[in-house]
Amino acid sequence: MQTLVRRGLGVVLLQAWIFLFSLPFYAQTISSLPRLEPSYSEDFSDYNSYPSTCFQDAFMDQDGRLWLVVCDQASRTNGMYLFQFDGYQFKLVEGALGELRLNCYIEGLYQGHYLVGKICEEGNNRIFFYDLQTGRLNIKPVVSTGILEKVIITDSDRIYLTLLEGGTVRLCEWKDGRCLEQSRFDAPVLTSDFLEPETLYHDERFFWGIVRHKGYFIRLNKSSGAIKKFNFNEFLPQNHQYNPHGIFHMEFADILLQKGKVHLFFQMWKTPSWYQLDPETDRFRPVSAVPAGAIGSVLARDRVGNLVFVYKNAQDGYQAILQDTSGRRFDYTACVRDLADSNIETLRSNDFTKQVLVCSGKGISAHRIKATQAIQHFLPNEQVRAMAELPDKRILVS
């Protein structure tokens, strides 16, 4: 890296390059990673209009407004469901959407200004679109004799449905107001107590699910119909094997994609809980950045494709690792460190390297990110009066 410095009339010409580092993954521990820290933070629980409850999810629409979904328990207790925050105050969303609380679940953001969700009633399933710009609610019936188990909205704004009908699992794409079937297969478990599989993710190519009470993940190739199982015991030490008849069970699982790579996250026993699918062996391998003894709490992805893994360390404190779309990793702990006594629900952002919203049992906090490694030059004996970026990307400092 070359740096040109000229002194004269108090003018210094600098050329700074940012983030020119990439340590080998196998050699990295969180203490050796470059840190991403907040330049500005705010805890919204200090606001007078704050509803003093827990948020389990957050969405930022194309106009920059924040929409917050309260935790299930808080919704049942307080009769609250969705809040809108404009940067100054919280406002409870009332009207038609507020009346849908029973068996109503918001699943994601569509086209930047629709919240999409499901209304689950056997034989009377519906999908709804709530326009965040107009406040209009559009409810569409889903023709099915079973249960609408899941709605998935992909990055490309395609909507996929999972329907459990008797002993059959139907996989559909929602298009032009209709459920267009893509594939179907026999349900692995169907009893009076359980309807499985539970959907983790699906798109135009694959369906991923979990069959908790049989102890495996499932992947279906939609074009060929081929099914592959990934048993829980493949991820567990020999002295803690999964017993489907015991009280040991999978608490939570999710599938996230990053640049075509499949990442699996789950909460089960004290085992590495962040895995990546090896395309050569078609097996899941633990991600090397996860320290021994870590208990995973959240694996979140932003709209750009960056991943943040939040876990609890041996001292029961939160730590976090960010992996960007090029595979570089950063210590992201500063954004979650103060929440050790609270349960982190999820993280949301358009770009984790610039800002993050942390939803927890305390409510929601926001952080604007600075990169300590981006500071390449210090001028301790100079008084900086002005800065300007030149056409060739160099910085003029006066």
Q: Tokens 């209304």 map to which residue?
A: 119
CA 305 to chain centre: 10
Residue 210: other Cβ atoms inside 10 A: 24
d(CA 94, CA 322): 36
Average pLDDT score over residue span 33-61: 80
| Residue 108 predicted with pLDDT over 80 | yes
End-to-end CA gap in the chain: 23
pLDDT digits (tens, 9 = 90+) for 337-386: 888 888 898 999 989 999 999 988 877 888 999 865 555 555 556 666 66
Q: Which range scores top for mean pLDDT: 7-16, 314-323, 360-369?
A: 314-323
Give the per-residue pLDDT at 31.
Answer: 80
The per-residue pLDDT for range 248-288, each reduced to its tens digit, is: 556 688 999 999 999 999 887 666 789 999 999 999 999 98
Q: CA separation (Å) from 348 to 43, 60, 100, 334?
A: 15, 8, 24, 16
Residue 185, pLDDT > 60, answer yes
Quick one: DSSP state of residue 87? S
Burial of 30 (0-12, 13-18, 19+ CB in 10 A): buried
Residue 68 CB contacts under 8 Å (≥ 6 apart), including other chains: 55, 57, 58, 82, 83, 84, 85, 90, 359, 364
- For residue 196, which amino acid is it? E
Decide which of 322 and 250 is more confident: 322
User: How many separate helices (H) and strands (E) can be counted in the chain?
Assistant: 1, 33
Share of the chain above pLDDT 90, in %: 41
Helix (H, G, I), strand (E, B) or coil at 198: strand
18-375: CATH number: 2.130.10.10
Confidence of residue 122 (pLDDT cuts 50, 70, 90): confident
CA distance 283 to 289: 18
How far is the CA of 291 from the CAs of 26, 269, 274, 288, 341, in angstroms?
Answer: 12, 15, 11, 8, 21
Q: How far apart are CA 285 and CA 274, in angstroms?
A: 9
Q: Which residues contact 214 (CB under 8 A, 6 or more apart)?
A: 188, 189, 196, 244
Over 90: is that where the pLDDT of 2 sits? no
Report the pLDDT value the prediction gives residue 16, as an integer from 0 to 100: 31
Q: How far apart are CA 347 and CA 358, in angstroms?
A: 5
What is the chain's mean pLDDT, rounded? 81
147 close to 120: Cβ distance less than 8 angstroms: yes
Domain ranges of the chain: 18-375
- Alpha-carbon gap, residue 16 to 18, rounded angstroms: 6
The predicted structure's pLDDT at residue 6: 32
String of DSSP letters for 255-322: EEEETTEEEEEEE-SSS--EEEEETTTTEEEE-TTSPTT-EEEEEEE-SS--EEEEEE-TTS-EEEEE
Tell which residue, 258, 269, 256, 263, has the closest CA to residue 284: 263
The reported pLDDT for the residue numbered 161 is 97
Nearest to 300 by CA among 335, 271, 341, 270: 335
Total residue length of the chain: 398
What mean pLDDT is predicted for residues 60-89? 76
Distances from the Cα of 68 to the Cαs of 8, 147, 149, 221, 252, in angstroms? 53, 26, 22, 34, 21
pLDDT band at 53 (very low <50, low <70, confident <90, very high): low
Distances (CA, A) of 149 to 106, 146, 166, 201, 315: 13, 9, 13, 12, 38
pLDDT at 114 over 80: yes
**Comparing C-alpha atoms, which of 24, 18, 57 is closest to residue 36?**
18
Identify the band that residue 45 occupies on the pLDDT scale cut at 50, 70 and 90. low
* pTM (whole model) above 0.75: yes
Burial zone of 261 (CB within 10 Å; 0-12 exposed, 13-18 middle, 19+ buried): middle
What is residue 171's predicted lDDT score, i.e. its pLDDT? Answer: 96
Structure tokens belonging to residue 46: 């200090």
pLDDT at 100: 74
